[in-house]
Amino acid sequence: MLKNKQHIIDAKILVLGLTFKENCPDIRNTRITDIIDELTTYNAQVDVYDPWVKKEDAQHALAVNLVETPASNYYDAIIIGVAHNEFKAMGIDTIRKMGKANVIIYDVKYLFRADQVDGRL
């Protein structure tokens, strides 16, 4: 986020995906919680959206509160953490609209082309 002169401290960040792998509801052994935990150490507000996970399962097993629908024009950064078909079907333009005008999109799973996102793992 620093390359675009945005700061992570107090940022509003959306994480797309919580499951262990794409297109399944299994949250056991997910590494997405490591990303969430790290971001919260910077006092970032982290919203998590995953259409495959039941809200109560995420809360009970991982103490993660899922959002039902991500807000529009709200996030400073969006992290695509799981390659669900739903996220691919949304398309990068719809995902980008969830963020502010200068949103940073980081695609951990290479769901979209490199020229469509700001960074990859």
In the chain the domains, ranked by start, together with CATH numbers, are 2-109 (3.40.50.720)
Work out the mean pLDDT of the chain and round it to a whole number: 94
Average pLDDT score over residue span 97-113 = 96
pLDDT for 2 equals 45
Q: Is the pTM of this model over 0.75?
A: yes
Average pLDDT score over residue span 32-60 = 96
pLDDT band at 115 (very low <50, low <70, confident <90, very high): very high
Cβ distance 86 to 57 under 8 Å? Answer: no
β-strand partners of 105: 78
Among 47, 52, 99, residue whose Cα is nearest residue 73: 99
